[in-house]
Chain A
Amino acid sequence: MKIEATPDFSFLTMLANASFIVQLVMLLLLVASFMSWLFIFQKMFALRVAIKQADEFEKEFWGGADLNHIFQNLTSGRLTPRGMEKIFEAGFREYAKLKKQSGLDISSVMDGTRRAMRAAYQREVDALERKLAFLATVGSVSPYVGLFGTVWGIMNSFRGLANVGQATLAHVAPGIAEALIATAMGLFAAIPAVIAYNRYTHDIDRLAIRYESFMEEFSNILQRQAR
């Protein structure tokens, strides 16, 4: 029997000594954690941009500028319009098209415009909500995956204990410490994912409400113009 006077508790040796399943679980958790952090940062930037754009567009829109002028600016621009701009663009485009057609009453023109805006709105919100489901999954599942790794590691360490005549804490402790790393990693993946998920859904909800109110107000303006 090998006598280990000083059990090596450094993190890397613990990783190296862990059983294959536990290592696999840790790898899985590492990938999940990395992906969730990637999406967290992506969404953070994307939402920041979307909110800023909405602010700017509302300022421009309520600043009393001509609707035609705004539309020209948007369509002639190099960048594809996004968010609130996109909704405005889709609505105004449809409105102009329907207006050109003769023999349509105001309500059907407004219905068509509203449908076009609704479609653009849904696409925009969907784009914002992309990958949030992944964060939710990581947040809810990775603690269990980590726990699985830990349970497996502890099982192994106790099985090893069965072969030893005199059981001491020194026989079990390293195995349990190794196994607990899996739980730590699961929590490390889950906690930020849950926080980010909650925060981002809240932000997106607020943004969606802003879009919807804008749609209603814009419809009113268009209806007034149509008369």
Chain B
Amino acid sequence: MIAPAADHYRFQSGALALLVHAAFFALLIFGITWQAKEPAGVVVDLWSNLPTPEAKPAIKPVEPPPPAPEPIKKVAPKPAPPAPVKTPDIALKEKRVQEEKRKQEQMKQEQLKKEQLKQEQTRLAEQARQQQAQADLARRAQAQQSAAQQSIVNDYTGRIQSKIQSKLNKALCGDGKPQLEFDIALLPTGQLRGNPILRKGSGLAACDKAVENAILQSDPLPVPPQPEAFSFFRELHLKFRPNE
């Protein structure tokens, strides 16, 4: 029997086959990894509470210029004593020139002082204006926010009332115009915390009981998901007029 020629090349063939598969896997690994693009990272800040709108000034107040060096107050030299008659003409002339010079210097300094004062005043005025603007901005933002919150609060109080109303058995409250007031406490999930407390009864024990049952049945009550709006719902004072 003849030995098949292929046997001589078993190891070579095995090595080559391994090489081919290594290449194939390299292609798969790098080819696929290369296609899987890393999405750009997203940075998320988690806030437990909405930040109060900071009324930061859009423009920083201009740094006040460093105060100019205080002009050295020179004691104005006393006018020279009347020249003695003896003094020669030339000396007298010199003195006069000096005096003139001194006067001019004084005038200059005064002008400088006035200018500085003016600058200071304008700076102060500017600052005041900016502060005013900031305050305005803050007030407006607050007003806006509170308005938005107010609308949310109104919305949800309406929903709570209507939910309870829908569960209420009005037949137990008679024909009159009974008024009841309840205090309830809520958890952030809308569930009741403790039992509702009757603040002002209608005079009809059955009616009081019916309203209380309605409140208990409508647990959980709708509450706003925003934590700052929910703060209005932690303690609620509810007024009921079952027959209206």
A interface vs B, CB < 8 Å?
5-6, 8-12, 14, 30, 33-34, 37-46, 49-50, 80, 82, 86, 123-124, 127, 130-131, 181, 184, 188
Contacts A49-B5, A124-B2 given: A41-B17 contact, CB under 8 Å? yes
B38 adjacent to chain A (CB < 8 Å): yes
Question: B5 to A41, Cβ gap below 8 A?
Answer: no
Question: A45 to B33, Cβ gap below 8 A?
Answer: no
Question: A45 to B8, Cβ gap below 8 A?
Answer: yes
Question: A11 to B32, Cβ gap below 8 A?
Answer: yes
Residue of B nearest to A131 (CB): B6
Residue of B nearest to A10 (CB): B33
The answer, among A14, A41, A127, for a CB contact under 8 Å with B9, is A41
Residues from chain B with a CB closer than 8 A to the CB of A33 are 21
Measured CB to CB, the closest approach of chain A to B54, in angstroms, equals: 31
Q: Give Cα A124–Cα B3 distance, bound, in whole angstroms.
A: 10
B12 adjacent to chain A (CB < 8 Å): yes
Question: B13 to A80, Cβ gap below 8 A?
Answer: no
Q: Give Cα A160–Cα B25 distance, bound, in whole angstroms.
A: 28
Name 5 A/B residue pairs within 8 A (Cβ), A-sorted: A10-B32, A11-B33, A39-B13, A41-B12, A46-B9
Residues from chain B with a CB closer than 8 A to the CB of A49 are 5
B125 adjacent to chain A (CB < 8 Å): no
Q: Give Cα A203–Cα B213 distance, bound, in whole angstroms.
A: 95
Residue of B nearest to A33 (CB): B21
Residues from chain A with a CB closer than 8 A to the CB of B28 are 11, 181, 184
Contacts A10-B36, A37-B17 given: A130-B4 contact, CB under 8 Å? yes
Contacts A37-B17, A46-B9 given: A127-B2 contact, CB under 8 Å? yes
Question: B21 to A86, Cβ gap below 8 A?
Answer: no
Measured CB to CB, the closest approach of chain B to A12, in angstroms, equals: 7
Q: Give Cα A7–Cα B32 distance, bound, in whole angstroms.
A: 13
Q: Give Cα A16–Cα B8 distance, bound, in whole angstroms.
A: 38
Residues from chain B with a CB closer than 8 A to the CB of A50 are 5
Contacts A6-B39, A37-B17, A37-B20 given: A42-B29 contact, CB under 8 Å? no
